[in-house]
Protein backbone atom coordinates (compact mmCIF):
# COMPACT_ATOMS: atom_id res chain seq x y z
CA UNK A 1 0.00 0.00 0.00
CA UNK A 2 1.42 3.37 -1.05
CA UNK A 3 0.67 5.57 1.97
CA UNK A 4 3.37 8.21 1.27
CA UNK A 5 1.00 10.76 -0.36
CA UNK A 6 -1.35 10.53 2.64
CA UNK A 7 1.48 10.95 5.15
CA UNK A 8 2.78 13.95 3.20
CA UNK A 9 -0.72 15.44 3.27
CA UNK A 10 -1.12 14.80 7.02
CA UNK A 11 2.30 16.41 7.66
CA UNK A 12 0.87 19.74 6.43
CA UNK A 13 -1.27 19.75 9.58
CA UNK A 14 0.38 17.53 12.22
CA UNK A 15 3.66 15.64 12.68
CA UNK A 16 3.47 11.90 13.27
CA UNK A 17 6.18 9.80 14.86
CA UNK A 18 7.34 6.63 13.10
CA UNK A 19 5.37 4.56 15.61
CA UNK A 20 2.22 6.61 14.91
CA UNK A 21 2.72 6.22 11.16
CA UNK A 22 3.07 2.45 11.61
CA UNK A 23 -0.08 2.26 13.73
CA UNK A 24 -2.04 4.36 11.24
CA UNK A 25 -0.85 2.25 8.32
CA UNK A 26 -1.96 -0.91 10.14
CA UNK A 27 -5.52 0.46 10.41
CA UNK A 28 -5.96 1.65 6.82
CA UNK A 29 -6.87 -0.17 3.65
CA UNK A 30 -6.06 0.59 0.05
CA UNK A 31 -8.44 -0.07 -2.81
CA UNK A 32 -8.38 0.34 -6.58
CA UNK A 33 -11.45 1.13 -8.67
CA UNK A 34 -11.92 1.09 -12.42
CA UNK A 35 -13.29 4.02 -14.36
CA UNK A 36 -17.07 4.03 -13.97
CA UNK A 37 -17.15 2.09 -10.70
CA UNK A 38 -18.93 3.53 -7.67
CA UNK A 39 -17.19 4.08 -4.34
CA UNK A 40 -20.54 4.99 -2.76
CA UNK A 41 -24.13 4.61 -3.95
CA UNK A 42 -26.93 7.00 -3.04
CA UNK A 43 -28.98 5.38 -0.28
CA UNK A 44 -26.08 3.31 1.12
CA UNK A 45 -24.42 4.23 4.41
CA UNK A 46 -20.92 5.64 3.98
CA UNK A 47 -18.55 3.39 5.91
CA UNK A 48 -15.35 5.03 4.63
CA UNK A 49 -13.60 8.37 4.29
CA UNK A 50 -11.45 8.10 1.17
CA UNK A 51 -8.16 9.84 0.39
CA UNK A 52 -7.35 9.76 -3.32
CA UNK A 53 -3.87 8.52 -4.23
CA UNK A 54 -4.51 8.61 -7.97
CA UNK A 55 -7.49 9.16 -10.21
CA UNK A 56 -10.57 11.37 -10.27
CA UNK A 57 -14.08 11.04 -8.84
CA UNK A 58 -17.33 12.94 -8.91
CA UNK A 59 -19.87 13.22 -6.12
CA UNK A 60 -23.40 13.75 -7.35
CA UNK A 61 -27.04 13.64 -6.43
CA UNK A 62 -29.51 11.93 -8.74
CA UNK A 63 -32.95 13.57 -8.49
CA UNK A 64 -36.34 11.88 -8.99
CA UNK A 65 -36.27 12.78 -12.70
CA UNK A 66 -32.91 11.07 -13.22
CA UNK A 67 -31.12 14.43 -13.50
CA UNK A 68 -27.53 14.37 -12.22
CA UNK A 69 -26.40 17.26 -10.01
CA UNK A 70 -22.62 17.23 -9.50
CA UNK A 71 -21.58 18.48 -6.08
CA UNK A 72 -17.82 18.08 -6.32
CA UNK A 73 -14.89 16.53 -8.10
CA UNK A 74 -11.91 15.01 -6.30
CA UNK A 75 -8.41 14.27 -7.57
CA UNK A 76 -5.07 13.28 -6.06
CA UNK A 77 -4.50 14.52 -2.48
CA UNK A 78 -8.23 15.24 -2.03
CA UNK A 79 -10.90 13.48 -0.02
CA UNK A 80 -14.14 11.97 -1.24
CA UNK A 81 -17.17 10.47 0.50
CA UNK A 82 -20.47 11.66 1.92
CA UNK A 83 -19.26 13.15 5.18
CA UNK A 84 -22.80 13.57 6.55
CA UNK A 85 -23.58 9.91 5.97
CA UNK A 86 -20.21 8.86 7.41
CA UNK A 87 -20.64 10.87 10.62
CA UNK A 88 -24.30 10.03 11.21
CA UNK A 89 -24.21 6.51 9.75
CA UNK A 90 -27.42 7.25 7.84
CA UNK A 91 -28.16 6.63 4.14
CA UNK A 92 -26.17 8.79 1.75
CA UNK A 93 -27.75 11.50 -0.37
CA UNK A 94 -24.93 11.16 -2.89
CA UNK A 95 -23.15 8.83 -5.28
CA UNK A 96 -19.36 8.83 -5.62
CA UNK A 97 -18.24 7.51 -9.01
CA UNK A 98 -14.76 7.13 -10.50
CA UNK A 99 -14.15 9.15 -13.66
CA UNK A 100 -10.75 7.50 -14.10
CA UNK A 101 -9.10 4.39 -12.72
CA UNK A 102 -8.72 5.46 -9.10
CA UNK A 103 -6.71 4.32 -6.09
CA UNK A 104 -7.81 5.36 -2.61
CA UNK A 105 -6.82 4.90 1.00
CA UNK A 106 -9.81 4.19 3.23
CA UNK A 107 -10.41 5.31 6.80
CA UNK A 108 -13.19 3.06 8.04
CA UNK A 109 -15.91 4.21 10.41
CA UNK A 110 -15.12 1.19 12.58
CA UNK A 111 -11.42 2.13 12.91
CA UNK A 112 -11.56 5.93 13.13
CA UNK A 113 -12.24 6.11 16.88
CA UNK A 114 -9.44 3.65 17.58
CA UNK A 115 -7.11 5.79 15.47
CA UNK A 116 -8.17 8.93 17.35
CA UNK A 117 -7.63 7.25 20.74
CA UNK A 118 -4.17 6.01 19.77
CA UNK A 119 -3.13 9.19 17.89
CA UNK A 120 -5.12 12.12 19.35
CA UNK A 121 -3.46 14.66 17.05
CA UNK A 122 -5.27 13.02 14.12
CA UNK A 123 -8.54 14.35 15.56
CA UNK A 124 -7.07 17.84 15.12
CA UNK A 125 -6.00 16.89 11.60
CA UNK A 126 -9.51 15.76 10.64
CA UNK A 127 -11.04 18.84 12.27
CA UNK A 128 -8.81 21.01 10.07
CA UNK A 129 -9.72 19.02 6.94
CA UNK A 130 -13.44 19.29 7.73
CA UNK A 131 -13.17 23.02 8.48
CA UNK A 132 -11.48 23.58 5.13
CA UNK A 133 -14.20 21.58 3.33
CA UNK A 134 -16.95 23.47 5.16
CA UNK A 135 -15.52 26.87 4.20
CA UNK A 136 -15.18 25.78 0.56
CA UNK A 137 -18.79 24.58 0.58
CA UNK A 138 -20.03 27.87 2.00
CA UNK A 139 -18.08 29.86 -0.59
CA UNK A 140 -19.56 27.74 -3.36
CA UNK A 141 -23.11 28.39 -2.08
CA UNK A 142 -22.47 32.14 -1.96
CA UNK A 143 -21.02 32.11 -5.49
CA UNK A 144 -24.04 30.21 -6.80
CA UNK A 145 -26.37 32.84 -5.33
CA UNK A 146 -24.40 35.95 -6.22
CA UNK A 147 -22.31 35.38 -9.36
CA UNK A 148 -23.17 34.88 -13.00
CA UNK A 149 -22.52 31.53 -14.66
CA UNK A 150 -19.59 33.10 -16.49
CA UNK A 151 -18.04 34.33 -13.24
CA UNK A 152 -18.55 30.91 -11.63
CA UNK A 153 -16.88 29.20 -14.59
CA UNK A 154 -13.87 31.55 -14.47
CA UNK A 155 -13.45 30.83 -10.75
CA UNK A 156 -13.73 27.07 -11.40
CA UNK A 157 -11.18 27.25 -14.21
CA UNK A 158 -8.75 29.32 -12.11
CA UNK A 159 -9.15 27.29 -8.93
CA UNK A 160 -9.12 23.84 -10.52
CA UNK A 161 -7.04 23.91 -13.72
CA UNK A 162 -5.94 20.28 -13.24
CA UNK A 163 -9.54 19.09 -13.12
CA UNK A 164 -10.92 20.86 -16.18
CA UNK A 165 -8.61 18.97 -18.53
CA UNK A 166 -9.65 15.60 -17.09
CA UNK A 167 -13.44 15.69 -17.20
CA UNK A 168 -16.09 16.14 -19.91
CA UNK A 169 -17.55 19.60 -20.39
CA UNK A 170 -21.11 18.45 -19.64
CA UNK A 171 -19.95 17.49 -16.13
CA UNK A 172 -18.43 20.93 -15.57
CA UNK A 173 -21.74 22.41 -16.76
CA UNK A 174 -23.63 20.22 -14.25
CA UNK A 175 -21.29 21.32 -11.47
CA UNK A 176 -21.91 24.97 -12.41
CA UNK A 177 -25.67 24.42 -12.65
CA UNK A 178 -25.90 25.28 -16.36
CA UNK A 179 -26.35 23.43 -19.66
CA UNK A 180 -23.36 22.28 -21.70
CA UNK A 181 -24.55 24.53 -24.54
CA UNK A 182 -24.46 27.57 -22.24
CA UNK A 183 -20.99 26.57 -21.04
CA UNK A 184 -19.82 26.44 -24.69
CA UNK A 185 -21.23 29.93 -25.22
CA UNK A 186 -19.38 31.22 -22.13
CA UNK A 187 -16.11 29.68 -23.31
CA UNK A 188 -16.49 31.29 -26.75
CA UNK A 189 -17.14 34.67 -25.09
CA UNK A 190 -13.99 34.32 -23.00
CA UNK A 191 -11.92 33.47 -26.09
CA UNK A 192 -13.25 36.58 -27.87
CA UNK A 193 -12.50 38.75 -24.81
CA UNK A 194 -8.89 37.60 -24.49
Q: pLDDT tens for residues 62-99? A: 999 999 999 999 999 999 999 999 999 999 999 999 99
Q: How far apart are CA 62 and CA 51, in angstroms?
A: 23
For the stretch 129-150, pLDDT in tens is: 999 999 989 999 999 999 999 9
CB 59 within 8 A of CB 46: no
Strand, helix or coil for residue 22 = helix
Q: How far apart are CA 78 and CA 68, in angstroms?
A: 22
Q: How far apart are CA 189 and CA 194, in angstroms?
A: 9
Phi–psi pair at 107, nearest 5 degrees: -100, 115
Q: Work out the mean pLDDT of the chain and round it to a whole number.
A: 94
How many residues would you count in the chain? 194
* pLDDT band (50, 70, 90) for residue 192: confident
Q: Does pTM top 0.85 for this prediction?
A: yes
DSSP 37: -
Amino acid sequence: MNITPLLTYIAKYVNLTNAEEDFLTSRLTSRKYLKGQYILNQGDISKMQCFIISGCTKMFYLDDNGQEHIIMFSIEDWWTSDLGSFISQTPSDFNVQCLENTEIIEFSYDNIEEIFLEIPKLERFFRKVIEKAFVASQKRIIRNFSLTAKERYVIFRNNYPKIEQRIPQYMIASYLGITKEFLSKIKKQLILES
